Structure 1
Amino acid sequence: METMDSQSSAAAPGPSLINWELAASTAANLAPAGPALSGKEIGAAVADLRLLADRSVPYVHEITGLDAARDLRDSQVLVVDRASWAKANTQSFSVLMQSTMAALAKKQAAALRPSSVALSGTVTGAQLGGVLAFLSSKVLGQYDPFAALAGRPGAAAGGRLLLVAPNIISVERELNVDPSDFRLWVCLHEQTHRVQFAAAPWLRHHMLSEIEKLSTLLVGDTDKLAEKLVSAARSLTRKSAEHDGAPSRGGLLDLLQDPEEKAALSHLTAVMSLLEGHANVVMDAVDAGIVPSVRTIRQRFNSRGKDRGALEKFIRNLLGLDAKMRQYSDGARFVRGVVAETGMSGFNHVWTSADHLPTEQEIHAPTLWVQRMGL
C-alpha cells in the first residue's frame, strides 16, 4: 500500500498552533488494528482495488454523462492503510486551515510566547490525532481535491483518491458479501467524486474559499470558542441521554450561532449534500449486470450501524458524522428530483459555475433549483 510523504514544506515557519506531524503520528499510534492479512493477501487486495478503480470510470461516464470521466490523469488513485489516510488528511487540513491559523497566530502574537504556541500546537495536534484515529477505521474511500495545494514534490495537479484497503476488507467481511462486487461498488462512489472535480475545475478553489471563511468565523473569537465547545458537548450528552444517541444537526457545528456563520455552514452543507448525493445516485444506478450482488450489498450496507454502542454514538454525534449521513440521502433526493424533471443533461448544469450550485433550501426542494436555472 502507498504511504504518504513527509509533511508539506509549504507550512508556515516557526511554531504552529497545530502540530500536524504529531497529529499524524498520534493517529497512526491510536488507530485500531485492521484485519489480519498476509503480505500476499495485501498485495492481491491492492492490485484488485486498483483494477476495479479503473474499471469503474467508464460506468461513471455512462451514468453521469460527464465527459470529464474520459481523462482523469490530473489526479492520483492511492490504496492506503489507516495511518496513511490520517497523514493525508493532516496534509489537507494544513492547507485548509493555513490562512485561518496565520490570522489567529497574528491576532494572538502579543499574548503568546513561542513556547506557548508550541505547547498549544502539541496539545491540539494530539487531540486532532485522536479524532483522526477514530475516523481512520470508518472511512472506505475519500477524494481529496486539495492535495496538490500542499506543495508536495511530484504531486498531481488535481487531487488524489484514497481507497482505505483495511476498512474496505473489514466491511466486506462484516457484511459477508462478494469482495469484488463490494469493491467495485465503493469505487463507483469514490470515482464519481473524482469526476465531479474534473468536470468543475473551479469547484476546488470555491470550496477552499468557503471552508476558509467558515473556519475563520469559527475560530475568530477565541475567547468564546472554548465556551461554545463545552456547550456543544453538554448538549450532545443531554441529547444522548434523552434520545438514546439521536443525531444532532451537525455535532460540533451546532455551536455556530451567528447569522454569518450559519449562512456559511448552510452553503457548505448544500455543496456537500450535492456531491455525496450525486455519488450515491451513481452507486444506486448500477444493476446486476455491473455488480451482480448489488441488491444484497445495498441492503446489508444500509443496515450497518444499528447496533453501535453508546460511546460510538456520542463520538459520531460530536463529530457530526450522522449529519453527514443525512447529506447522502438529502443530496440523492435532490439529484433524483432534478433528473426526473430535466434529465441528467439538465442536472449537469450544476457543474457549470458556483452560481449554479444549489442552496440548502433547494436541496430539499429540487423544483426551486430547476426554476432558478430556467430548465
Structure 2
Amino acid sequence: MADDDRSPEEEFQELIRQLFGGGADGIDPEQLSRLTGMGIDPAMMQTIMQNLQGAFAGNGEISWDLAQRQALHIANQDGLGVTAGQRTDLDQAFALATLWLSEATTISELATAPRALTRGGWVEATLPVWQELAEPVATSIADALTDALRDQAPDDMQSLVQGAGRLMRTVGGSLFATQLGQVVGRLSLEVVSGGDVGIPLLPGGEAVILPQNFADFGRDLEIPEDQLALYIATRELAHARLFRHARWLRLHVISQITEFARGIHVDTEALEELASRFDPSEPEELRSALESGALLPARSEAQTVALTKLENLLATIEGWVDVVTAQATSRLPSAERIAEAVRRRRAVGGPAEQALGSLVGLELRPRRMREAAAMWRAVTDAVGVSARDALWDYPDLMPTSEDIDDPSALVARLQARARGEEPVRDALDDALEQLLARERGDSAPQPDRDASSPDGDASSPDGEERPESGGPEDQRPV
C-alpha cells in the first residue's frame, strides 16, 4: 500500500512501530503532519515522541537521579548556606547539650561531632533511605502501567505492547521518582533536625540541625533562641545516641517500613479511569493523582497489622527521646513550652510530610508517643536510668505494645531483676504451655529426663525444666 493510501490510524500505528522498532530517529515530519486527520497536534506528537525515545533508551530501571535533581532544585532555590555565626551558635548548643544529656542517660556520647547542615546537604544525605522506602511503590506503579497498556491494547497491537513493557516501566518509574523528588525537596524546607521525621534517615550516630528551618520553627514561638537551640540540640543528640547504641534498631525500623511498602499495589481501575481521559500535554492530573494517593487502594489487613507494629515501634523510640530530653533540659525555663510545641508539630506533621504519606501510603507519625513516654517515665521512676536504658541493649528486651498499654508488668519484672530475683512460673504459664503443646499435637519429641539432675526433673517439649510436685519452681527468664 502506498503511503498516500494509508488512513491516519495506520499512520499512527506505523509511528509506534518505528518507535519500538528502533527507527524513531528517522521519523519524517511530513508523516507527522498526516495525523491531523485523527485530531492530533503534530507538534505535540513530535514532543511526545522525543520524550518517549529518551525513555525507551533506558534499560527499564527507575532513574532515581531525577528524584535527586528535583529535590536539590527545590532545596537550593534560595541559594543560602550556613553562616559562620549559625555554626558557632549551634556548636555551643551541642556542646552544652552533650553535658546535660550525659546526666540523663547512660547511653554513650557520639563518636562524630554534630553539625549544622544545609537543606541541600540534608537531601543528599537522606535520599538513599527515601529511595529504599519508596522503591516498592514505584515498582508497583510501573508494573500497573505495563499491565494497563497490555489490557487496553487491541489484539493486533499486542506484539508492540511486548516491546513497550520496558518503556512503560521507565516512564512510570521516572514519573514517580520525579514526584518523590518534589516531596523530599519540600520536606527539606520543613525538617529542623536529622531525627525530626522520626525514622533513621542518617547513618547511626550522626546528629545534624538545619539552621534555616530552625529559624523558621522558632519565629512565632516567642521563646529565647538560645533556649530553643539547646532543647533541639539535646533532642537531636538523644535520637542519634540511641540509634548508635542500638545498632540493630535502624534495620528494625527500615525493615518494618519496607514490609508495609511491599504490600502496596496500585489501584488499576483508578489508573485505567485516569488514563482514559489523560492528556499528555497536561500531565498535572496524573501528578496530582500520584501525590494525593488516589492510585493507592485502601490498606489490606496485613498492611494494617504492619502499620500498627511500626507505629508502636516509632512511639517507643520517640517516647524514650521525649523523656530523656525532658530530664536533660529540666534547667531550661521554657522547656515545657518547647516540648509541647515539638509534640504538637510531630503529631500534625507539615504539608510535605502529609504529601509523602499520600505518595507512599505511609504516615510516619507516632500516634502513641504520649502513652510511650508515660511508660518510660514509670520505668525511670521505678528502677532508675541505667536499668531503663539497658532495655535497648538487645531487641528482645525492648518494651512491647502491651507494655505501652500497661507498664506495670514491665516495671514488676525490672524491679524483680533489680532485687536479684526472677519472676516464677505461675499456673497461667503452665496452662498456656499445656495449650500450646495440644496445638502442636504433642508432635515434638519428649526429651529424656536429665540424667545430670539429682531429682530427675521432667523437661518440657521446648527444653525448659518443669518442677515436679513439691519440687522447686522453675524460673522464667525475663
Rg: which structure is higher? 2
Which range is displaced more, 312-321 or 354-363?
312-321
SS at the partner of 1:326? coil
Letter in 1 for 2:66: L
Matched residue, 1:28 = 72
Higher relative contact order structure (alpha carbons within 8 Å, sequence separation ≥ 6): 1
Listed as ranges, the matches of 1:170-319 within 5 Å are 170-218=216-264, 221-222=265-266, 255-258=298-301, 260-287=302-329, 289=331, 291-298=332-339, 318=358
C-alpha distance in structure 1 between counterparts of 2:296 and 2:410, whole Å: 26
Q: 1:124 aligns with which of 173, 176, 179?
A: 176
Inter-CA distance 327–305: structure 2 relative to 1 (3 Å threshold): closer
In the other structure, the counterpart of 2:129 is: 92
TM-superposed deviation, 1:124? 0.5
Contact 1:145 1:159 (C-alpha < 8 Å) held by counterparts = no
Contact 2:189 2:213 (C-alpha < 8 Å) held by counterparts: yes
Identity value in percent: 24
Equivalent of 2:186, from 103, 118, 134? Answer: 134
C-alpha distance 314-302 of structure 1, shift in aligned 2 (>3 A): closer
- Does structure 2 retain, via aligned residues, the 8 Å contact 1:20–1:90? no
- Pairing partner for 2:61 from 9, 12, 16: 16
**After the TM superposition, which residues 313-352 of structure 1 pair with which residues of structure 2 at under 5 Å, given as runs?**
318=358, 324=365, 326-352=367-393
Query: Take 1:261 and 1:308, find their aligned partners in 2: how far apart are those partners?
Result: 22
* Aligned positions of 1:354-373 closer than 5 A: 354-371=395-412
TM-score if structure 2 supplies the norm length?
Answer: 0.55
User: Cα–Cα, structure 1 residues 99 and 76, in superposed 2: closer, same or farther, change >3 Å?
Assistant: farther
How many Å apart are 1:255 and its aligned residue? 3.8
CA shift for structure 1 position 106 = 9.8
Structure 1 pair 301/99, CA: closer, same or farther in 2 (3 Å)? closer
In structure 2, what is the Cα distance between the partners aligned to 1:21 and 1:78?
26
The CA deviation string for residues 43-86 of structure 1, in whole angstroms up to 9 with x for no partner, is: 211232233223322322210122x22xx22x563422223323
Asked if the contact 1:267/1:359 (under 8 Å) is kept, the reply is: no
Residues paired across the two proteins, number: 319
Unaligned runs of 5+ in 2: 1-57, 148-161, 275-294, 418-478
Over 3 Å counting, the alpha-carbon distance change for 1:58 and 1:305 in structure 2 is closer
3-state SS in 2 of match to 1:16:
coil
Over 3 Å counting, the alpha-carbon distance change for 1:133 and 1:255 in structure 2 is: farther
CA spacing shift, 1:315–1:102, aligned 2, 3 Å: closer
**Inter-partner Cα distance in structure 1 for 2:385 and 2:347:** 34
C-alpha contact (below 8 Å) 1:78/1:162 kept by paired residues: yes
Change (3 A) 1:179 1:286: same
1:337-368 C-alpha deviation (Å, 9 max, x unpaired): 22233322332232022112233332232224
Q: How far has the Cα of 1:111 moved from its partner?
A: 9.1
1:83 and 2:135 matched? no
C-alpha distance 254-270 of structure 1, shift in aligned 2 (>3 A): farther
Deviation at 1:145, TM superposition (A): 4.4
When residues 210 and 340 of structure 1 are mapped into structure 2, their CA distance, relative to the original with a 3 A threshold, is same
**C-alpha RMSD over aligned residues:** 4.3
The letter for the 2-side match of 1:265 is L
Q: CA deviation at 1:298?
A: 4.2
Change (3 A) 1:56 1:305: closer
| Aligned match of 2:468 | none
**What are the residue-to-residue correspondences of 1:19-168 with 2, within 5 Å?**
19-30=63-74, 42-66=83-107, 68-69=108-109, 72-73=110-111, 75=112, 77-96=114-133, 113-143=165-195, 145=200, 147=202, 158-168=204-214
After superposition, the C-alpha distances for 1:6-52 in whole angstroms (9 at most, x for unaligned) are: xxxxxxx95433x3322233233345977x97x7x822112322332
What CA distance in whole angstroms lies between the structure 2 residues aligned with 1:217 and 1:298?
35
Whichever structure has more helix as a proportion of its residues is: 1
Quick one: distance in 2 between partners of 1:306 and 1:273? 11
> Residues 97 and 287 from structure 1, CA distance in 2 versus in 1: closer, same or farther, beyond 3 angstroms?
closer
| Cα-to-partner distance string for 1:301-341 (whole Å, 9 max, x where unaligned) | 667799999x8897598589987163432331221122233
Secondary structure, aligned partner of 2:219: helix
Q: Secondary structure at the match of 1:84?
A: helix
How far does residue 100 in structure 1 lie from its aligned partner after superposition?
8.6
Please say if residues 20 and 94 of structure 1, whose CA atoms lie closer than 8 Å, have aligned partners that are also in contact: yes
